[in-house]
């Protein structure tokens, strides 16, 4: 869960990257970093606003940036990471997890390689350096062709900016024209808010090179085999983002409608668990005719509980407030996008009950999360995933709802097919992992 950005040939690159990363802040809130012309960097723990301040401004027209969900706490571990090689200086910002990082790391170390961080991202730099080419572009292509998944990356070299996605396209990446140059970002919304034109989704298995005085050059380094992370649609991405030309909000709404098709619950009101449960709740409400209501209000200024590692329960109570006046005496159907560990939903049900509801039902517009993600989303180890350990009856009992329903795996897949999203990963829902 990270957001990445790159700019090439754009005035005040630092400020532009800052603005892109602000729009991608939901993808990671624990650290932020940029590298600009001459490979000067600003990095720190915390939000973009706190790290990339105007006092730390670096002049330049080219650079890359990163917001990160998880950090080991050391500044060395905050991306982008930079290294000097015989083929020039190179900085990399990465979204995703390299699945065979341990083996690759070992292979490099056995050959005498040394690492400055524990990040899997550093493997990309090593492969670039050891590639059997003198040319940096060919070296990067070689490196990418040997690293299967999962990555979307931006790479800043002395002579180019590159943006690439693995052959499965598990994590998103886009670029668009801006001023006389280009901007790259994890989600297209970040390009639209800045007024980019000709916004293009980078094809899985390709790398796009941005160099001076030339249009972007697209090079294929691996055969395309689309398995885009469906969880990006369900929970992670902003509702105003689009992947495969399909709007995230619309997909969530369709998932909500499908949930109603499969489970026709009767309730007085549908209450979305904000924010990512909103669109699905709207879909359910529209399909069922049950009015949607604000029963929970979210405080946006304390971060997402999915992301914060400690004191989850306290965070939820501070994050979501209950509207007693709306809920009291009603049969309430809570709609959320997913249940991972189950602790958040259990607490929300508790809070809703405290408001004096008659009944509380819970509808989830994705299937049970039964497996972990190996591709860059922190959906826990299997033992921590509540649905991998319990059947529906036990889950319902655990969260304390009068009824708990999920969307089926088949229904979920059908929604993506009908929306025109080609090739998705649903590994955490059906254990069918692409790699
Ligand atoms: Fe996304 Fe789940 Fe696949 Fe991970 S396993 S990439 S979270 S769909």
Q: What pLDDT is attached to residue 208?
A: 98
Q: What is the pLDDT of residues 112-135, one digit of tens each?
A: 999 999 999 999 999 999 999 999
Ligand 1 proximity of 152 Cβ (cutoff 6 Å): no
pLDDT of residue 422: 80
pLDDT tens digit sequence for 301-357: 665 555 554 666 677 777 889 999 999 999 999 999 999 999 999 999 999 999 999
**What's the CA-to-centroid distance between 374 and ligand 1, angstroms?**
7
Specify the DSSP class assigned to residue 203.
Answer: P
Of the CA atoms within 13 Å of residue 180, those in its CB half-sphere come to 10
User: What ligand 1 atom has the least distance to the C-alpha of 171?
Assistant: 6
pLDDT digits (tens, 9 = 90+) for 223-275: 999 999 999 999 999 999 999 999 999 999 999 999 999 999 999 999 999 98
CB atoms within 10 A of CB 217: 13
pLDDT for the residue 314: 74
Mean pLDDT of 129-142: 97
> Atom 6 (ligand 1): residue with closest C-alpha?
229
Which protein residue has the closest C-alpha to ligand 1 atom 4?
Answer: 373
pLDDT band at 389 (very low <50, low <70, confident <90, very high): confident
| Residue 312: predicted pLDDT | 65
Give the model's pLDDT for residue 315: 73
Containing 261, the helix (H) or strand (E) segment is helix 248-262
The angle subtended at Cα 361 by Cα 355 and Cα 362, nearest 5°, is: 105
Q: Which of 352, 341, 350 minimizes the C-alpha distance to 272?
A: 352
Q: Ligand 1 in contact with 174 (CB < 6 A)?
A: no
Q: Cβ(237) to ligand 1 under 6 A?
A: no
At which residue do the structure tokens 């299997």 appear?
A: 382
The angle formed by the CA atoms of residues 48, 73 and 115, to the nearest 5 degrees, is: 110
Instruction: Report CA(230)–ligand 1 centroid distance (Å).
Output: 6
The secondary structure of residue 387, as a DSSP letter, is: H
208 CA from centroid of ligand 1 (Å): 25
Q: Are 2 and 66 in contact (CB under 8 A)?
A: yes
Residue 77: per-residue pLDDT: 87
Task: Give the model confidence (pLDDT) of 273-291 as tens digits.
Answer: 998 899 999 999 999 999 9
What sign results for the dihedral spanned by CA atoms 92, 22, 208, 251?
Answer: positive
Q: What is the mean pLDDT of residues 54-59?
A: 97
87 pLDDT tier (thresholds 50, 70, 90): very high
Best substitution site from 427, 431, 435 to test ligand 1's pocket, by max atoms within 8 Å of Cβ? 427
Nearest CA residue ID for atom 2, ligand 1: 428
Distance from the CA of 217 to the center of ligand 1, in angstroms?
30
Average pLDDT, integer, range 79-83: 95
Nearest CA to ligand 1 atom 1: 229
Confirm if 116 and 122 have CB atoms less than 8 A apart.
yes
Percent of the chain with pLDDT over 70: 95
Compute the distance between CA of residue 52 and CA of residue 24 in angstroms, rounded to an integer. Answer: 14
pLDDT score at 31: 94
CA dihedral for 45, 76, 161, 27, sign (positive or negative)? negative
Convert 205-227 into a string of H (helix), E (strand) and C (coil). CEEEEECCCCCCEEEECCCCCCC
């Amino acid at each position: 869960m990270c957001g990445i950005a790159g700019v090439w040939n754009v005035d005040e690159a630092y400020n532009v990257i800052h603005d892109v990363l602000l729009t991608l802040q939901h993808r990671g809130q624990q650290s932020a970093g940029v590298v600009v012309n001459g490979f000067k960097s600003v990095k720190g723990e915390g939000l973009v606003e706190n790290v990339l301040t105007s006092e730390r401004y670096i002049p330049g027209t080219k650079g890359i940036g990163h917001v990160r969900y998880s950090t080991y706490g050391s500044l060395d571990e905050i991306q982008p990471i930079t290294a000097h090689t015989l083929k020039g200086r190179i900085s990399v910002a990465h979204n995703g997890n390299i699945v065979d990082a341990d083996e690759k790391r070992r292979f490099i170390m056995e050959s005498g390689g040394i690492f400055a961080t524990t990040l899997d991202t550093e493997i990309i730099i090593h492969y670039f350096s050891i590639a059997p080419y003198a040319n940096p572009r060919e070296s990067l292509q070689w490196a990418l062709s040997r690293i299967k998944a999962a990555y979307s990356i931006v790479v800043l070299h002395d002579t180019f900016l590159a943006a690439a996605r693995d052959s499965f396209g598990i994590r998103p990446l886009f670029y668009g024209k801006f001023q006389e140059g280009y901007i790259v970002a994890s989600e297209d919304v970040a390009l639209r808010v800045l007024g980019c034109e000709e916004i293009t989704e980078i094809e899985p298995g390709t790398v796009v090179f941005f160099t001076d005085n030339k249009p972007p050059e697209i090079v294929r380094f691996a055969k395309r085999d689309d398995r885009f992370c469906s969880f990006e649609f369900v929970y992670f991405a902003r509702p105003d983002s689009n992947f495969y030309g399909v709007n995230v909000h619309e997909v969530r709404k369709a998932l909500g409608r499908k949930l109603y098709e499969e489970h026709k619950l009767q309730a007085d009101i549908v209450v979305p668990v904000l924010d990512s449960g909103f669109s699905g709740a709207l879909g359910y409400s529209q399909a069922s005719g049950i009015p949607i209501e604000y029963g929970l209000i979210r405080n946006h200024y304390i971060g997402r509980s999915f992301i914060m590692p400690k004191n989850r329960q306290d965070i939820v109570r501070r994050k979501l407030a209950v509207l007693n006046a709306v809920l009291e005496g009603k049969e309430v159907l809570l709609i959320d996008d997913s249940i991972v560990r189950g602790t958040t939903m259990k607490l929300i049900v508790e809070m809703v009950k405290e408001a004096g509801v008659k009944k509380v039902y819970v509808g989830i517009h994705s299937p049970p999360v039964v497996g972990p993600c190996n591709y860059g989303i922190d959906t826990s180890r299997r033992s921590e995933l509540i649905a991998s350990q319990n059947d529906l009856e036990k889950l319902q009992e655990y969260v304390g709802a009068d009824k708990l329903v999920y969307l089926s795996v088949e229904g979920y897949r059908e929604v993506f097919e009908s929306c025109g999203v080609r090739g998705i990963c649903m590994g955490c829902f059906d254990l069918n992992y692409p790699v």
